Structure 1
Amino acid sequence: MSETNARTQILAAQRNDDSFPTLWDELEWRGLIHVSTDATALSELIEGEPFAYYCGFDPTAPSLHLGHLVQLLLMRRLQLKGHLPLGLVGGSTGLIGDPRPTAERTLNSRETVAQWVESLREQISRYLSFDGDNAARFVNNLDWTAPLSAIDFLREVGKHFRVGTMIKKDIVAKRLNSDEGISYTEFSYQILQGLDFLELYKQYDCKLQSGGSDQWGNLTSGTELIRKAVGGTAHAIGTPLITNADGTKFGKSEGNAIWLNPEMCSPYTFYQFWLNQADADVIDRLRVFTFLSRAEIAEFERQVAEEPFKRAAQKHLALEVTTLVHGAEATQAAIDASEALFGRGDLAALDAGTLGAAIEALPQAAGAVGSSVAQLMVDAELVKSLGEARRAIAQGGVYINNVAVAAEDQALTADDLLHGAFAVLRRGKKTLAGVTA
């Protein structure tokens, strides 16, 4: 099956849960609403006639990441309700970048940003339908900012913003209180994002913008600009940030982004991320990142409470989200690799890319034909000494590619190097390391 057909099937299988009175009720139950403008008005808007809505994605990297996936799934749920999604890729705002809490961004070249615009467009197209009466549409804010002179920008847009309000925005306030401060360039970002909403309101009667809750100041700059400039009413939804166990946000600024591009985060690594979710987090993840119904998620919640050792919820979460992002074939390869690493499958049957990604996630040792297995165990920190390595081998608890090492002085052979480059060392049932030639 072609990737296009597979992606079409994934989109066709997605449904909102009709056990909820309204979509707004479902969005709240799934934890997708952290902050919003008037909730009652938003619920009525969503239940009413089709309307246009948007989310912006800035090309400040060549790939989208986990936080963007939350936005794409929210956009898809609204599209399933019959509304019209606008995927904005920020050809102009990407040249500036929204302010980070800690330091000024490094500005990328116009050529790099243009390349990343196309990369993000391709990724976004995988999660929305571009067919039917409410087909998704791409927009680029460079189209309306590039022709705008500085004088016109200040007269027609800047006059509606008050500096006192702008400096109270959380990110701006943090930067103003930091040693580095904030440049006028990044300070102006909220005006540009507000202009985006105003332009889409004028061109498409766009009535809603969504984004992460850390973008709330930028989101409301648009609703306020629409009110002041043209007397219109528009809404915003801020989704919760996805954090790890200690509350740290996942994202490129924090250096721990889970990228959607398989070249930046392999399907195997992506699958393992979801598989390793804590019991305390997995149900919330199922609500946000899957289209499972309330009843289906309730059953997984029961299993987490009564049979946590089976990790059924984590396995299904990893299956669902990896299939959504990377497709069924890549997901099965990741599952096969997970099984094979622990002796429940054939390592030699894995393709080089999947095996290499799996090896990369393990402790490492460099080896070549003739290398001592005992020394490789020490180098990979599976044991503390050669003596401990030899004792483990003598006890029958050491494996290369799931085959028991028979002799204490056994050396790595050419046959041990899968794809001529990799081998998997295992001590006992669960302690693994990778060998790379």
Structure 2
Amino acid sequence: MHTAPTQLDPSFETVWDELVYRGSVHVSTDADALRAALGGEPITFYCGFDPTAPSLHLGNLAQLVVMRRLQLAGHHPLGLVGGSTGLIGDPKPTSERQLNARETVAEWVSYLQRQVSRFLVAEGENPVRLVNNLDWTAPLSTVDFLREVGKHFRVGTMLRKDAVAARLESDDGISYAEFSYQVLQGMDYLELFRTYGCTLQTGGSDQWGNLTAGTELIRKAEGAHVHAIGTPLITEPDGRKFGKSEGNAIWLDANLTTPYAMYQFWLNQDDAIVVQLLKAFTFLTRERIDELAIAVADAPFRREAQRVLATEVTAYVHGIDATRQAAEASAALFGSGDLAALGVDTLAAAIASLETVTALPDAPVLQLLQESGLVDTLSEGRRAIQQGGVSVNNQRIEDDAATLEGRLLHGRYAVLRRGKKSLAGVDAG
């Protein structure tokens, strides 16, 4: 199994040109000035991640890939994990966030810092530096905060921010704490500008109001012009946002989203968006992506682009070995590999992706076919077995009185199959 090296595509004149090609710029401050800045002497840039969960997720990965491209171009990354903003939470368009305990947020800060460090190089001429905004907000008194930062913000402008406006129209309204989130994020940019000379912030386009709060604060407080890039939101084919608020998050922590589940997620992407995902989430060259785009158009049934996408991104997040195991599990689960050769953790992750029934170790296969929903009735199950259309762990069942006894993998798991594509899992643990 091979993956593309983590490097820039030499066919682009500047990293800005590559970001534009990859669809990573949805909105920005002055594009010409940004292209010049990113094509010149190294600058310092940052992206912030709030510890509202014990792991980063797919939306954060989009930012980390952009940061890595900028780092590869020689620019200096700052990875901000928001120990203070995480105590408040940026306003959701629908409802107030539940505040997490300070101890929980502090623990999550450590988790997220370790994750950020996995994707951005910590050695060399432009190593990543991790910063925590609690370091400069905690010592600041309320009066100093209002005098030094709050005086530069206009309430009318703050009310027009999309998330704030949406909340004002809701029944619950918005608390002063969440209303002030944009002031806190603006202060972050000002602090990093003063301390590190930071002149670029990246973030999701849904954060554009918060990003520009920082550029405006620096303009008013320091008389300087700095930049911001808002990346497109990552959405499913039906337009739904990938994110933990939607209940379908793909986490970067293997304990929350297994490498197998991540591999399958990318493998199942729609032809309509797979090329754009290759551009945004991988380090494949433009030439290679063009080849895969042709493959999608000419032979979509081969799903070559999806397999490459799944391999590249899963390996970037979890490494080659875990990705190889995930690919082998995927092949075995759908009939072209050896389920018995899979490790117990990999097999368990594969089983978890299926509709799963619990059973005794000697449960009748016929009964499990019905309980799992692979057949509606026992008589339908008997016919399926007699016609040679049922297997357990890819081994055909020929006797409708067969049980699980002697068939379980790792003494616990089985995969039921009816036909080629109808699968269910069995857990006899």
2:407 equivalent in structure 1: 416
Candidates 407, 417, 421, aligned match of 1:430: 421
The letter of the residue matching 2:37 is L
How far apart are 1:369 and its partner, in Å?
2.2
1:319 equivalent in structure 2: 311
CA contact (8 A) 1:400 1:424 kept: yes
1:342 equivalent in structure 2: 334
Matched residue of 1:432: which SS? Answer: strand
CA contact (8 A) 2:3 2:311 kept: no
- Which TM-score applies when normalising by structure 2? 0.98
Answer with 14-23 or 98-107: which moved more: 14-23
CA contact (8 A) 1:398 1:405 kept: yes
How far apart are 1:434 and its partner, in Å?
0.1
1:245 equivalent in structure 2: 237
CA contact (8 A) 1:398 1:404 kept: yes
1:169 equivalent in structure 2: 161
Answer with 18-27 or 227-236: which moved more: 18-27
Equivalent residues in 2 for 1:211-360, closer than 5 Å: 211-360=203-352
1:142 aligns with 2:134: yes
Q: Gapped runs of 5+ residues in structure 1? A: 1-8
The letter of the residue matching 1:323 is A
Runs of 4+ in 1 over 3 A off after TM superposition: none
CA–CA distance in 2 between the matches of 1:331 and 1:373?
32
CA contact (8 A) 2:3 2:312 kept: no
1:191 aligns with 2:183: yes
Candidates 107, 117, 121, aligned match of 1:115: 107
Candidates 361, 369, 372, aligned match of 1:377: 369
The letter of the residue matching 1:82 is G
Question: Paired residues, what number?
Answer: 427
Answer with 179-188 or 365-374: which moved more: 365-374
1:4 equivalent in structure 2: none
CA–CA distance in 1 between the matches of 2:346 and 2:163?
40
CA contact (8 A) 1:100 1:253 kept: no
Candidates 70, 76, 83, aligned match of 2:62: 70
The letter of the residue matching 2:422 is T
Matched residue of 2:149: which SS? Answer: helix
CA–CA distance in 2 between the matches of 1:101 and 1:256?
18
Cα 1:225–1:10 change in 2 (3 A) is farther
The letter of the residue matching 1:219 is L
2:25 equivalent in structure 1: 33
How far apart are 1:21 and its partner, in Å?
2.5
How far apart are 1:342 and its partner, in Å?
2.2
Equivalent residues in 2 for 1:58-137, closer than 5 Å: 58-137=50-129
CA–CA distance in 2 between the matches of 1:283 and 1:18?
20
How far apart are 1:22 and its partner, in Å?
2.1
CA–CA distance in 2 between the matches of 1:382 and 1:336?
24
CA–CA distance in 1 between the matches of 2:419 and 2:163?
49
Matched residue of 2:340: which SS? Answer: helix
How far apart are 1:230 and its partner, in Å?
1.0
CA–CA distance in 1 between the matches of 2:260 and 2:3?
20
Matched residue of 2:78: which SS? Answer: strand
CA–CA distance in 2 between the matches of 1:184 and 1:406?
68
How far apart are 1:113 and its partner, in Å?
0.5
How far apart are 1:108 and its partner, in Å?
0.6
CA RMSD of aligned residues (A): 1.2
CA–CA distance in 2 between the matches of 1:48 and 1:433?
56
Matched residue of 1:249: which SS? Answer: coil
CA–CA distance in 2 between the matches of 1:51 and 1:10?
29
Answer with 370-379 or 144-153: which moved more: 370-379
CA contact (8 A) 1:371 1:412 kept: yes
Candidates 379, 403, 408, aligned match of 2:395: 403
Deviations 1:321-358 (A, max 9, x none): 00000001110110111111122222122111111111
How far apart are 1:10 and its partner, in Å?
8.5
Deviations 1:216-252 (A, max 9, x none): 0000000000000111111000000000011000001
CA contact (8 A) 2:393 2:415 kept: yes
CA–CA distance in 2 between the matches of 1:335 and 1:391?
33
Candidates 41, 48, 53, aligned match of 1:56: 48
CA contact (8 A) 1:56 1:89 kept: yes
The letter of the residue matching 1:202 is R
Q: Gapped runs of 5+ residues in structure 2? A: none
How far apart are 1:26 and its partner, in Å?
1.3
The letter of the residue matching 2:427 is T
CA–CA distance in 1 between the matches of 2:331 and 2:73?
39
